[in-house]
Copies of this chain bind each other. A is one copy, B any other.
Amino acid sequence: MRIDQNLAFMLQFENVAWFEDGQVKILDRRIYPREISYVVCQSYEEVIKAIQDMVTQSGGPYSAAGMGMVLACFEAQDLSKEEMISWMETAAEKIANARPTTSTRMKKIVDDAVAIMKESVWSTNEELLEIMQQYAIDEATARYSSVKEVGSRLADLIPKDGVVMTQCFADAVIGFIIERLKETGNTGVSFITPETRPFLQGARLTASVIQDMGFEVHVITDNMPAYIMKEKKVDVVTSAADMITMDGYVVNKVGTMSLALLANYYGIPYYCTGTPNLKHETIETVKIEERDPSEVMELLGTKVTMEGVKAYYPAFDITPPSLVSGVVTNKGVYSAFDLKSYFN
Contacts and interface: CB of A to CB of B under 8 A. Distances in A.
Interface of A: 33-34, 192, 194-198, 200, 203-204, 207-208, 210-212, 216-228, 231-232, 253-255, 257-258, 261-262, 265, 288, 293, 296-297, 299-300, 302-314, 316-318
Contacts of A288: 227, 231
Given A299-B300, A310-B216, A258 B204 contact: no
Contact of A254 (B227, B305, B308): B227
Contact of A258 (B258, B293, B302, B312): B258
A223 B222 contact: yes
Dominant secondary structure of chain A at its interface with chain B: mixed
Contacts of A254: 221, 223-224, 226-227
A188 to B, nearest CB: 15
Contacts of A216: 310
Given A223-B197, A226-B317, A254-B223, A211 B261 contact: no
A114 to B, nearest CB: 39
Number of this chain's copies in the assembly equals 2
Nearest to A192: B312
A300 B226 CA distance: 24
Nearest to A190: B310
Contacts of A297: 203, 219
A221 B306 contact: no
A194 to B, nearest CB: 7
A5 to B, nearest CB: 20
B296 A221 contact: yes
A312 B208 contact: no
Contacts of A255: 223-224, 226
Given A203-B309, A221-B222, A223-B255, 19 more contacts: A194-B223, A200-B304, A207-B309, A208-B305, A208-B309, A211-B308, A218-B309, A219-B296, A219-B305, A220-B312, A221-B296, A222-B222, A222-B223, A224-B254, A224-B312, A225-B258, A226-B317, A227-B316, A258-B262
Nearest to A204: B304
A296 B194 CA distance: 10
A258 B226 contact: yes
A308 to B, nearest CB: 5
